[in-house]
Structure 1
Amino acid sequence: MVETIATEKSATERPARAPSLSVEDRQSMLIDVVTPLLLQHGRAVTTKQIAECAGIAEGTIFRAFGSKDELIRAAIDRHLDPEPFRAQLRLVDLDLPLEERITAIVTLMRERFTTVFTLMSALGATGPPPHSDDGRREFAEIISRSLAGDAARLNVDPARAAQIVRMIALAASVPQMRNGQSFDDGEIAALILYGIAGRPADRVSN
């Protein structure tokens, strides 16, 4: 009797089955999974590899996306979408010291440049990713606004400074352009702020 009750109790206490993901959530999860695989394997990645990394059956991929190519296209579209990156740039704390603010901007820009160029290269794309002049201007305006509070410290106006930040961050992110030893984000920020001969104001005064 005791054994029967225990068996019935264990049956009723089985954990509930995890709720299935919506189509949108499943698609987002698969894009998260496929991105590092694309960086490693390019278009040669298989649906079996994707399914194993996601912990799902291969058929689930085709229920979320019609084909592997559609999944790859969705991953590319996500990473080329500029708005999430713009949102991150807008969140840079304007109360940070200028040096830390520049470093935060450089870090975000290098992460984006590195991911986009590595992904496009892995997929066999040639040339720069598509962009619009309006989109490029908006990036410059966001960075310019983040520097405006320290305009008196700058040797150029904030808009010109924003162009310089983007140019140097881009060059430092692409190995073919860098052509040598890599730089960390702090080094790049210091180069932007002080060049190769200048010094922070407190050091000069000492």
Structure 2
Amino acid sequence: MAVKPARAKALSVEDRQAMLIDAVTPLLLEHGQAVTTRQIADCAGIAEGTIFRAFGSKDELIQAAVARHLDPEPFRRQLRAIDPLLPLEDRIRAIVAVMRARFTTLFTLMSALGRHGPPPGHEKGHHVAGEFAGILAGILADDLERFRVPAERVGQIVRMVTLAASVPQIRDGPDFDDAEITALILHGIMGAPVQHHSIATPHHAP
């Protein structure tokens, strides 16, 4: 007699919600607010009614997806996970990669949903910038004395340049990759400053 396979364990409400947010995010980036519950269900491999058992409506699911991407804590964890023993350029590139991924996803998502200005719930204020600067100071601790500006200013510059390079409306031209942004942050557009050494002129007796 054949033994029936064990029935898969039912997902908790939280797990089902997380699975649906994973499924809806790429669809929102492609279709925006016009995404249908049928498309979401097909992508997630579930019955359409499951969406309404996990969320009251499509709009609630969309709001949950936006809230997840606005949550800064996963972004901060990614930054804190960067190895402080890497060479300086590799650390800056890793910071840029994490920030660029966040900025690109957030602004693409908001644009697809037709939302303009700072996203609802978006963090702002001096304490946020200060926390970001503190994380960067920890990553770059061994090299802070090499910079011509304090840690807070380093954080501002990294954030400003990466944001401008990540958002098409600001960039207004070809994409920048992580290496280009890193080089721009570290060396500007002229490269590392050249050290000029004065050469003593031989003294001739009269």
TM superposition shift of 1:198: 2.1
User: In the aligned structure 1, how far is the partner of 2:87 from the partner of 2:6?
Assistant: 50
1:72-107 Cα shifts (integer Å, max 9, x gaps): 010010000111111111111100110000000000
The answer as to whether partners of 1:117 and 1:174 remain within 8 angstroms in 2 is yes
User: Are 1:178 and 2:171 matched, yes or no?
Assistant: yes
TM-score (norm 1): 0.89
Which of 156, 161, 164 is residue 163 of structure 1 equivalent to? 156
User: In the aligned structure 2, how far is the partner of 1:137 from the partner of 1:125?
Assistant: 27
Aligned pairs for 1:67-146 (under 5 A) are 67-129=57-119, 130-133=122-125, 134-146=127-139
User: Are 1:196 and 2:189 matched, yes or no?
Assistant: yes
| Structure 1 runs not aligned, ≥5 long | 1-7
What letter corresponds to residue 72 of structure 1 in structure 2? I
User: In the aligned structure 1, how far is the partner of 2:193 from the partner of 2:47?
Assistant: 57
User: In the aligned structure 1, how far is the partner of 2:128 from the partner of 2:8?
Assistant: 41
Which of 146, 166, 171 is residue 153 of structure 1 equivalent to? 146
User: In the aligned structure 1, how far is the partner of 2:118 from the partner of 2:90?
Assistant: 29
Aligned equivalent of 2:53? 63
Return 88-97 or 130-139, whichever deviates more: 130-139
Aligned equivalent of 1:32? 22
What letter corresponds to residue 131 of structure 1 in structure 2? E
TM superposition shift of 1:200: 8.8
TM superposition shift of 1:140: 2.1
1:48-94 Cα shifts (integer Å, max 9, x gaps): 00000000000100011111111001001000011111111111110
What letter corresponds to residue 116 of structure 1 in structure 2? L
User: In the aligned structure 2, how far is the partner of 1:183 from the partner of 1:132?
Assistant: 26
User: In the aligned structure 1, how far is the partner of 2:129 from the partner of 2:66?
Assistant: 19
The answer as to whether partners of 2:133 and 2:151 remain within 8 angstroms in 1 is no
- Alignment identity in percent? 67
Q: Alpha carbons of 1:155 and 1:163: their partners in 2 closer, same or farther (altered >3 Å)?
A: same
Aligned equivalent of 1:54? 44
User: In the aligned structure 2, how far is the partner of 1:115 from the partner of 1:137?
Assistant: 23
Task: State how many pairs are aligned.
Answer: 192
The answer as to whether partners of 2:41 and 2:48 remain within 8 angstroms in 1 is yes
User: In the aligned structure 1, how far is the partner of 2:191 from the partner of 2:116?
Assistant: 38
